[in-house]
Structure 1
Amino acid sequence: MADDKSKTDNRDRSQVAGDEEYEVGYLASKFGLSIPDVRQLIAKYGNHRDTLEREAKALGNR
């Protein structure tokens, strides 16, 4: 049976849910950072995924 396209949720994939451990853990493992490092990035730059990934990549390369 096909998916019902009229039923959508309100998730915004461009945002990182900083209060969700799995999202923070995913970013930490993806860029080789610690959980506190990722939480500091979220506090400093907000929760926009593109910005966080750019800054995490820069931090991971140091």
Structure 2
Amino acid sequence: MSDDRKNTGAPDRDRINLNEDYEVQYWVQTLGITRDELKAAVEAVGPTANAVREHLRK
């Protein structure tokens, strides 16, 4: 089943989906980084939020 684009509540806290604008906005705001920084972090360590947070701390 595909995502319901009308249901834009809080995104899955364990994964970062770069294909959904509302999720990208959430993570950019939550992590205090730019879209480009978020994309680079996800490409470097994968889409899990914990891995991205660890990567950003370095």
Q: Shorter-chain TM-score: which interval?
A: 0.5 to 0.7
Aligned partners of 1:13 and 1:34: how far apart in 2?
18
What's 1:29 paired with? Answer: 29
Q: Max radius of gyration: which structure?
A: 1
Aligned length: 47
Instruction: Deviation per CA, 1:36-57: give whole Å up to 9, x if none.
Output: 110111111110121113333x
Structure 2: tracts of 5 or more residues without a match: 1-11
- Residue of structure 2 in register with 1:3 after alignment: none
Stretches of structure 1 lacking an aligned partner (at least 5 in a row)? 1-11
Does the CA contact (< 8 Å) of 1:24 and 1:39 recur in 2? no
| Map of 2:18 onto structure 1 | 18
What is the RMSD computed on CA atoms of the aligned residues? Answer: 1.9
**Identical pairs, percent:** 19
